[in-house]
């Protein structure tokens, strides 16, 4: 019986400590509804996130950024977003209790493969990083040579050159 009585304060202390340790910053991440269902290289995607202060005090010095990781088997690596996204970080001096920051993260798809994107944030007063849930997506390759673009050139140029030569020859024949 005494053991059970000692267990109650220990459980209450653990619950209190975990409540204190809980980060008051919460991040959600979702794809934009206008994104293509099966994106291809060269297209654009957009992701929306909401960074919310769920605590009872204002947060100061918030910095949030987008990160992306390639997840193709044998090629797992973080991606440099310099070419993918010009929108790298968002800062806010203060975020009031129950306040939120809504951010849209545009991205141009420059490489085919399987990718995972995440939003991370820190505050000036915290020693922890807070992340959104991961969001996975697949980018289809884009053929370098598209027949709809190359065939007019492939057939048109010889016809144009042949037509010019025929016109010049006709002119020479008529002059004689």
User: What CATH number has the domain bearing residue 118?
Assistant: 2.60.40.10
Tell whether 144 is covered by a domain. Answer: yes
Give domain status of residue 15, yes or no: no
Distances in Å between the alpha carbon of 76 and those of 9, 89, 114, 116? Answer: 46, 23, 9, 10
Whether residue 107 is contained in a domain is answered as yes
Q: Confirm whether 16 is domain-assigned.
A: no
Q: Is the pTM of this model over 0.85?
A: no
Number of domains in the chain: 1
Whole-angstrom Cα distance, residue 157 to residue 79?
A: 41
pLDDT the model gives residue 19: 42
Question: How far from 43 is each of 13, 114, 145, 168, CA to CA, in Å?
Answer: 52, 15, 17, 45
Is there a domain that residue 2 lies in? no
Q: What is the longest distance spanned by two Cα atoms in the chain?
A: 124
Scan for tokens 């975990």, then name that residue: 18
The pLDDT of 56-84, averaged and rounded, is 93
Residue span of the structural domain in which 61 resides:
24-157
Residue 28: pLDDT band with limits 50, 70, 90: very high
| Residue 122 within any structural domain of the chain | yes
Return the number of other C-beta atoms located less than 10 Å from residue 55's C-beta: 15
- Most confident option among 6-20, 53-67, 78-92: 53-67
Domain assignment present for residue 10? The answer is no
Residue 22 — pLDDT band, cuts 50, 70, 90?
low
Structure tokens belonging to residue 62: 């918030």
Facing residues of 68 across strands? 117
| Rg (alpha carbons) of the chain, rounded to whole number | 29
Residue 41 lies in a domain: yes
pLDDT band at 18 (very low <50, low <70, confident <90, very high): very low
Give residue 156's pLDDT.
Answer: 79
């Amino acid at each position: 019986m005494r053991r059970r009585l000692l267990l109650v304060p220990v459980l209450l202390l653990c619950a209190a400590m975990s409540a204190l340790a809980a980060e008051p910053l919460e991040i959600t991440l979702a794809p934009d509804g206008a994104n293509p269902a099966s994106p291809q290289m060269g297209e654009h995607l957009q992701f929306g996130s909401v960074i919310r202060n769920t605590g009872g005090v204002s947060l100061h010095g918030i910095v949030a950024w987008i990160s992306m990781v390639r997840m193709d088997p044998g090629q797992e690596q973080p991606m440099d977003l310099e070419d993918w996204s010009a929108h790298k970080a968002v800062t806010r001096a203060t975020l009031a209790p129950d306040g939120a920051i809504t951010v849209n993260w545009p991205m141009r798809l420059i490489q085919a493969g399987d990718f995972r994107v995440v939003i991370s944030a820190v505050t000036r007063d915290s020693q922890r990083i807070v992340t959104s849930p991961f969001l996975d997506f697949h980018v289809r390759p884009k053929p370098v040579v598209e027949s709809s673009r190359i065939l007019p050139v492939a057939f048109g140029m010889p016809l144009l050159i042949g037509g010019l030569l025929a016109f010049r020859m006709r002119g020479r024949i008529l002059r004689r």
